A and B are shown apart, each in its own frame.
Chain A
């Protein structure tokens, strides 16, 4: 490998976020090199579920990013091959008891004001949308914009379509800097690569990379388990979950939380996920997490009780204390941009993230105000100080 290799942008990480950054950067006329120490989608992207959701997001910058991203996914579904398994199937959030309805209605009203399509479904109409849903639920809200992709294939096809140079099995071990501290490229396990811009899309490992570059990003992993069933004929039509899920997503607690999102896949298996807990990078099986996932799924769809789970896997969501991703220029290291920390929404938010990054590099106007995602918001924070929790107001 040549050590004088140079391009306009180096993207570190071949997960879905890095792939989207490469795709949009290339479409903005930049030459791109993507590096990963492993394989394409070998990180959290390969452990994610591929929900593209607006339904679980409260009004605010993340929802704004999600709306843009969902529109981009729709475009991508035409530009990329059908193997990415894009399905605009819609989401259905249900309240099991009447007490859950007011909060659900309030959330939906706020989301509507932000441009989300959300239709309240009275209990008697639930079976029409989901014939196998448990009887006796209090009602729900239908979100037609929610969609799905197969994350690993989506990342792989984004990368292939980008035409970026792909260097796999090559780990970034350091950064090259110029006289005034500006980035000149990266040092890797196989040599050095040059570029005026480097994008940190290393997901849950983005904190380590920031540190290598002399920057700070207080990223933590938040573990999640997914259960995968045997293949079934279509039994679940939408992404179905209970209203409590939204509370889990917004929680900063380190404790185990579970709210099962149940969904079918084109290949037949039903996916049930995911739990959330902060236990570092520990993969060992948690029967407590699996028990709760299974119990919640069976409560929503009693027919699932006899269905067999074939496998389960764990992944690590890249998590920042205020639950927003870091997207934009590093405040201290010129030439370094961050695109990580998307927690449980990285698949959904990847295209908009990639577009913002590309525009920031070229100096064009981003599709939304990137201010709330600015990595500088952690300046002065004490690094990865653990489970300190979320900002006092969500989003």
Chain B
């Protein structure tokens, strides 16, 4: 790479990365925006590919116009938007610029390695879904709540006709209302938490009227479709031979332990289940960035007042600093862009920084209150049977994980992995990590897993072999 390094490379083109790239360019910085998807938008603004010509996606999400504005600002900017770039690692040698190593192209043969150099880095890689297993969760017809949203937004297909929605967190209501709107029958939304948790943070709630309005909107949709919401209850088992035929829903105590004698069977042909999101921070932890455990139990990056991580020159925005929704992500992206511009140019920070910080802090407080309310209770592992598969890639059961802890001396996700192979497969523990960490901690709620995954995506050996020598 002989070319001049960029001022800023942004990894991830969701709300945070888009805002970061657009505003950094607005400050006169040269910017590369890398994302593995074919189009900008990230998780929330996953939209129908233009070829699909699906009518009126705005019916599925009311925040479309905010996204459209960011997208047109991106198009009008000088940002180099590098789509289809899978970043596998980020390195830095001494004072040299950052090296962002990516593979381009679709999975498989044509992947081509690329190295982008930049003086500053903004990590906006978002999150993936937290899965908590239960007996039967590997049956066809069980889908993730986020997966449902993505399916509806990009392909407009329903996973079934009679769909139970279960798990915990605000995404359940969003998923249920999208499903109902798209024509599915939703007999029940089973929410494991009590929702009372929010009441403990009235300040944070009152300061976020937008969020309340959003919730009310979902509630109205659900009422119109006569969708019932049960709190403190969970799907503890799925029934069916070739695919989902029914689920058992049980009441939970405060610790999410299923109450005996409360099981009821509900017929359905699909189950959408979600337990919130887990920040995708492996590129940062591979660099040694400090993390903390957020109130929802996930491990998130420690950030300073200006969105910088503990590693100088590396900023982060959006879900990487804690799950908080797209509006917070966009505010943080802009704030990080201004901070980077300030650092690189030495010009005084614009007055807007203060306003952005205020908004960020307000939304973060709300997000953390919500995260605390939906944090998995320590009793959830009681609905696992010894034969329940926890790691799907390597087919490791709850029983063998419990044995590794009780008999072989495992104490954390890493040693469970070494002794059982849980988390060694294709997904590298993204799917089972949260559950394994809980079981490794000897049951218990949401133990954050401090796993390092130095490769964010698999890399062909031939690509590694052909890397440039550092000068």
Contacts and interface: CB of A to CB of B under 8 A. Distances in A.
Contact of B409 (A14, A295, A307): A14
A168 B469 contact: no
A295 B465 contact: yes
Interface in B265-304: 286-288
Indicate the member of B91, B101, B409 with the most A CB atoms within 10 Å. Answer: B409
B225 interface: no
A169 B411 contact: yes
A390 to B, nearest CB: 27
A152 B428 CA distance: 18
Interface residues of B, number: 38
A41 B419 contact: yes
Indicate the member of A153, A287, A288, A295 with the most B CB atoms within 10 Å. Answer: A287
B462 A309 contact: no
A46 B415 contact: yes
B454 A312 contact: yes
A42 B415 contact: yes
Nearest to B420: A153
Interface residues of A, number: 45
Contacts of B465: 291, 294-295, 297-298, 305
Given A227-B461, A309-B460, A284 B286 contact: yes
Given A304-B461, A309-B460, A39 B455 contact: no
Given A152-B415, A283-B452, A310-B458, A290 B464 contact: yes
Given A159-B409, A284-B287, A310 B464 contact: no
B458 A288 contact: no
A46 B414 contact: yes
Contacts of A169: 411
B460 A39 contact: no
Contacts of A40: 408-411, 415, 419
A267 interface: yes
B107 to A, nearest CB: 10
Contacts of B177: none
Nearest to A284: B288
Contacts of B467: 287, 290-291
Nearest to A38: B411
Contact of A283 (B288, B424, B459): B288
B374 to A, nearest CB: 29
A313 interface: yes
Interface string A79-90: 000000000000
A85 to B, nearest CB: 11
A305 B458 contact: no
Contacts of A159: 408-409
B91 A305 contact: no
Indicate the member of B99, B109, B288, B408 with the most A CB atoms within 10 Å. Answer: B408
Interface in B400-447: 404, 407-412, 414-415, 418-419, 421, 424, 426, 428
B357 interface: no
Given A284-B288, A294-B465, A311 B428 contact: yes
B431 to A, nearest CB: 14
Contact of A312 (B411, B455, B460, B469): B455
A309 B409 contact: no
A287 B419 contact: no
A215 B43 CA distance: 57
Nearest to B407: A160
Contact of A305 (B89, B404, B419, B461): B461
B261 interface: no
Contacts of B71: none
A285 B287 CA distance: 7
A230 interface: yes
Interface string A156-180: 1101100000101100000000000
B470 interface: yes
B415 A305 contact: no
A298 B462 contact: yes
A287 B411 CA distance: 30
Contacts of B458: 230, 308-310
Contacts of A6: none
B462 A305 contact: yes
B453 interface: yes
Contacts of B418: 41, 46, 152-153
Contacts of B412: 38-39, 42
Interface in B40-93: 89, 91
B91 A168 contact: no
A230 B412 CA distance: 24
B461 A166 contact: no
A186 B404 CA distance: 27
B89 A287 contact: yes
A395 B41 CA distance: 61
Interface string B102-113: 000000010000
Contacts of B415: 38-42, 46, 152
Nearest to B460: A308
B470 A42 contact: no
A160 B408 contact: yes
A153 B454 contact: no
B57 to A, nearest CB: 35
Contacts of B421: 267
Contact of A297 (B288, B426, B461, B470): B461
Contacts of A290: 464, 467
B91 A285 contact: yes
A168 B89 contact: no
Nearest to B409: A40
B100 to A, nearest CB: 12
A31 interface: no
A185 to B, nearest CB: 22
Given A39-B411, A42-B411, A156-B408, A311 B461 contact: no
B105 to A, nearest CB: 14
Contacts of B426: 230, 310
Nearest to A291: B467
A287 B470 contact: yes
A365 interface: no
Nearest to A151: B418
Contacts of A229: 461
Interface in B211-258: none
A152 B470 contact: no
A168 B419 CA distance: 16
Interface string A288-322: 10110111011000001111111111000000000
B400 to A, nearest CB: 10
B410 A306 contact: no
Contact of B461 (A36, A46, A307, A313): A307
Contacts of B404: 156
Contacts of B469: 288, 291
Interface of A: 14, 36, 38-42, 46, 152-153, 156-157, 159-160, 166, 168-169, 227, 229-230, 267, 269, 272, 283-285, 287-288, 290-291, 293-295, 297-298, 304-313
18 contacts: A39-B412, A40-B408, A41-B409, A41-B415, A41-B419, A152-B419, A156-B404, A159-B408, A159-B409, A169-B411, A287-B91, A288-B470, A291-B469, A293-B464, A294-B465, A297-B461, A308-B460, A309-B455
User: Top 10 nearest A-B pairs by Cβ distance?
Assistant: A40-B409, A305-B462, A294-B464, A39-B411, A152-B418, A308-B458, A295-B465, A39-B415, A156-B408, A294-B465
Given A41-B409, A290-B467, 8 more contacts: A40-B409, A46-B418, A153-B419, A156-B419, A284-B286, A285-B89, A291-B466, A310-B426
